[in-house]
Structure 1
Amino acid sequence: MTHLRRALPLLLLPVVVTSAACGTESANRPELEARARALGIERDMVYVTDVPGYTLAAQSVGVVGDHGYGAFSSSPGGGMIAIRVDERRGDPVACTDPDTRPATERGSCEQDDESWYRASGTGHEYVFQDGGRVIRLSGDRAGVTRDVLRRAAEHAHQADDRELAGVLPTGGVGPGPVERGDLPADGDGAPQDPFGITAGTSG
């Protein structure tokens, strides 16, 4: 994964993430930063990737944690990939931590080049670090193969200005409530973990 050195929520509707969603729209840096702040997201937390056949769901873009980034992308066949970017708070996958759950509930975790691959229950993910950030690409094992998820991780990178212009919504910039991409649609509750694979991890 040579690209990982450079760059190493729920379903609000069909994240992440495809550069194909980033068209020719342009915006200046102050405007882009304002659009990110309106969602509670730090500009440098926005990452994109390129997965053939997957399209970003603009409605899914939202804040993760204090100022991280989360979104979904989907394919016509029903596959869905989530990207979540947040600050590093330790081992991003906690593979070395003892798993005290019953054997039938335990997942697997292994290093794959410069990232980590984790699988548990019906979900799986690739995780890697880039500076002080942890980037997760996750999906349902029935709808997203490991090869597709690996490609998403290999091509994940911090968004440039053109990509930011295509990812960040243009409406609602300014004061007002933030619609988080990882919170339940109704009522109160903790951030969503749609694929059930990040519980017990740090980052």
Structure 2
Amino acid sequence: MQNKLQELTEKIYNEGLTKGTEEASQLVNKAKEDASKIIADAKKHAEQIVAQAKKESEDLKKNVETEIGISAKQVVSALKVDISKLIETKVIQAPLIDALKDTEFIKMIIETAIKNWNPSSTDQIALNVLVPAANEKELKEYLSTKVMATLNQKFEIVPDKNIRYGFKIGPKDGSYFISFSDKDFENLFREYMRPRIIEMLFGGK
């Protein structure tokens, strides 16, 4: 009886030990599998983070290079314009102002404008010639004595405080005026000369 009890006890012990060992082994194996999966997932996630960071870095680099390129082109373009303006001012503005300050030159231009206002018509056209206030008296005396005596045109010299240099001419009714002010001549010369200045300085680009 004693032997059977001991055998039964040993059997239960051995079975329990075996079962416990198997369960422990299963737990260890599962833990290893879980650990491997966690490591693999972590590695994959880390690789994704690195790849994303690399892509963002490359995109940022491209954007910066693009911005630098655009900014450089804008700076060069602005520089070309500034240099052209400086040359235009030197070549155009100062000599132009000097010419328009010359009353004899203005007399000649006004006389030509009046003569060619409507050369094909025999009808008299009343004109207003707007001039700088400082030149009114001299221009009026000259044009009234010379031009009125030789041309089939009626005109009046009118001072205009808004005109610094040059003049404006148009019908007496004020329906329109053709301007020959310093700004008009300057814009005309700039339009003609700017492409040539840029071409000389920068090869046309």
Return the TM-score normalized by structure 2: 0.25
Which of the two has higher C-alpha Rg? 2
Q: Which has the higher contact order (CA 8 A, sep 6+)?
A: 1
1 or 2, which has the higher strand percentage?
1
